[in-house]
Each structure stands twice: as C-alpha cells, then as structure tokens.
C-alpha cells in the first residue's frame, strides 16, 4: 500500500513540537509519501527543507497562496524560481484565487496567480491549485494559459457539481479532503465524488486543517494529521461504492503519475495501512508486481 497525501501543511507551527512523531504515525497508518504544501515566502523554504530531510518520503510544492498574494513581489518571484530548481519541489502552488476570505485584495490575487501560471508554463511542473468562491475568474485565468500548462489539480475540492464537471471537462485533477466528512458543509460532496474518474482523483488531509468530523476518537487538540488519511479514504470509498483498498491504490497511482514520483524503493514496509481492505494489493485489479 502506497497511500499518498498530496496536501499536508507540515511546516505549520502546530507540528513544531512533535513533527517526527507525526511523520512516524503517518507511516504506521500506511501513508507512504506526502507532498508538503508550500504556500508562502516564509514556509516554502521550510517545505523544501523537510522534503530534503526525508528523501523519497516527503516532497514539496512552492507557491504563494491567494491569502498571501500581497507578498508576491519580483523578489518573491525570483525566490520561487530558485526553489523550483530543486527536484524535491514537484509542483507550482499552492496558488489560485480565494474570494471567500479576501485576505488579499482581488487584483493582487489575480496578479500573483498569473505570475505562478507563467512559472508553471515555463518549468512544465504540475499545478497545485486553490479556488474558493472565484470559479469564473479562475476558469478565465486558466483559459489564458490553454495549451501551455502541465497537469493541474484543484486541491481540497469543496465546490458544486457544476464546478466539478467544469474541472473534469478540462481534464484537471481533483483533491478530496476530510471536508467530505463535514455534515454541515460537505454533504453535497457525498453525492458527486462518484463522478470523479479514478485517474483524476487524489486524496489529502490538508493537515493541520480540516480534521474529519467523523473521526473517532477525536484528538483533543483538534489538529488534523496525515495519519488520518485512511479515514478519509474509507469515507470516500463508501461514497464511491468502492473497496477502500481500490480507492487508496488508484489515488496513489494517480498521484504518482501526476507529481512524477518514482515508484517506491521498498514495498511492504508499512504493515498496517488502516484502510479496511479484504483483498489487499490485488483489490485494484492491477498486477501484483505493480504493488500499490
Ligand atoms: Zn487551499
């Protein structure tokens, strides 16, 4: 089993006191690899440093989240380009538009997003995208780069059925988080996740945010962590009418291809993957030599 958490904010200071334990619990839960989200000038180098400290286990993205768009200066652009010279940085982002919180002015958000799309068009890396309440502008800006971008994933998808189909029509990927487990805000996702083709679906915790509300027992500090990814996969599989092992296996295969990750060097290292599986690695129908 090679579960891949494609979005973990492991540089967050809530992990400062026990980051190594968090990584170990993730491994023990069957999370074989993770992509550490870089989303600001401050945290991008930390994400790269984490990835370099854990080769083959952690990878990083580097980008500027729309909340931080105001910090996107020429100097910031140069910093990003330097970070992207490293092989451990596997995607441009987190970048995009967020008109829900509007922490940065919208023109600044669009400018920062455009410059990161330009960077992705130049370096050919996949895009790790954030969109909230900005669907129309988001599509329009992406359209300006039609034919010039590599693969794209709209991470932490929380949108409508129409938005989902807009993304799938454009051949983009979708990242599903524990938002799915939120009975107040995520109920609509339960209905529509079955429409996501397996080769466009990836999973993520967005830790330390978005603790799945159906997790039992709940951690006292309410902090989400990658070890809870199998819980999300189990819920997602139920909604898709799939064996959880198949969902896990397919999403990992999709993530490997999307981020161009190498095949795991050693398989079977994680004994218990936490996903309720009965048929193990063959559940996804792939030849056993491929592993999961
Ligand atoms: Zn996001």
Separation of CA 11 and ligand 1 centre (Å) = 15
The backbone region for 207, taken as left when phi is positive above 0, alpha when psi lies in -120 to 50, beta otherwise, is beta
CA 9 / ligand 1 centre spacing (Å): 10
Distance 253 CA to ligand 1 centre (A): 22
- Residue 265 CA to ligand 1 center (angstroms) comes to 30
Distance 96 CA to ligand 1 centre (A): 8
State the pLDDT at residue 2: 79
Question: What pLDDT is stored for residue 268 in this prediction?
Answer: 44
Check residue 216 and give its pLDDT: 95
User: 206 alpha carbon to ligand 1 midpoint, in Å?
Assistant: 8
Residue 174 CA to ligand 1 center (angstroms) comes to 12
Low-confidence stretches of the chain (pLDDT beneath 70): 1, 264-292
Interstrand relation of 152-154 and 173-176 (parallel, antiparallel or unpaired): parallel
What distance in angstroms lies between residue 228's CA and the mean position of ligand 1's atoms?
Answer: 18
CA angle 141, 144, 149 (to 5 degrees): 95
The reported pLDDT for the residue numbered 54 is: 98
């Amino acid at each position: 089993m090679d579960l891949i958490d494609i979005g973990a904010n492991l540089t967050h200071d809530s992990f400062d006191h026990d980051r190594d334990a968090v990584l170990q619990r993730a491994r023990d839960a069957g999370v074989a690899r993770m992509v550490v989200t870089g989303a600001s000038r401050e945290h991008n180098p930390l994400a790269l440093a984490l990835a370099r400290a854990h080769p083959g286990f952690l990878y990083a993205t580097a980008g500027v989240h729309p909340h931080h768009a105001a910090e996107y200066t020429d100097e910031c652009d140069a910093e990003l380009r330097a970070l992207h010279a490293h092989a451990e940085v596997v995607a441009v982002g987190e970048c995009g538009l967020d008109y829900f919180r509007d922490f940065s002015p919208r023109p600044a958000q669009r400018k920062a997003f455009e410059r990161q799309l330009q960077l992705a068009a130049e370096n050919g890396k996949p895009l790790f995208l954030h969109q909230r309440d900005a669907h129309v502008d988001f599509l329009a800006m992406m359209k300006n780069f039609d034919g010039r971008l590599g693969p794209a994933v709209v991470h932490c998808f929380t949108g409508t059925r129409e938005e989902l189909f807009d993304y799938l029509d454009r051949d983009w990927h979708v990242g599903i988080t524990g938002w799915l487990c939120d009975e107040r805000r995520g109920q609509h996702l339960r209905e529509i996740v079955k429409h996501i083709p397996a080769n466009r679906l990836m999973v993520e915790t967005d830790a330390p945010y978005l603790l799945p509300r159906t997790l039992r027992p709940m951690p006292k500090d309410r902090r989400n962590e990658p070890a809870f990814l199998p819980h999300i996969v189990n819920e997602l599989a139920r909604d898709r009418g799939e064996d959880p092992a198949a969902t896990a296996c397919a999403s990992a295969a999709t993530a490997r291809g999307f981020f161009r990750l190498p095949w795991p060097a050693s398989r079977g290292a994680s004994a218990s993957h936490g996903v309720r599986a009965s048929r193990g690695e063959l559940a996804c129908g792939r030849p056993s030599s491929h592993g999961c």
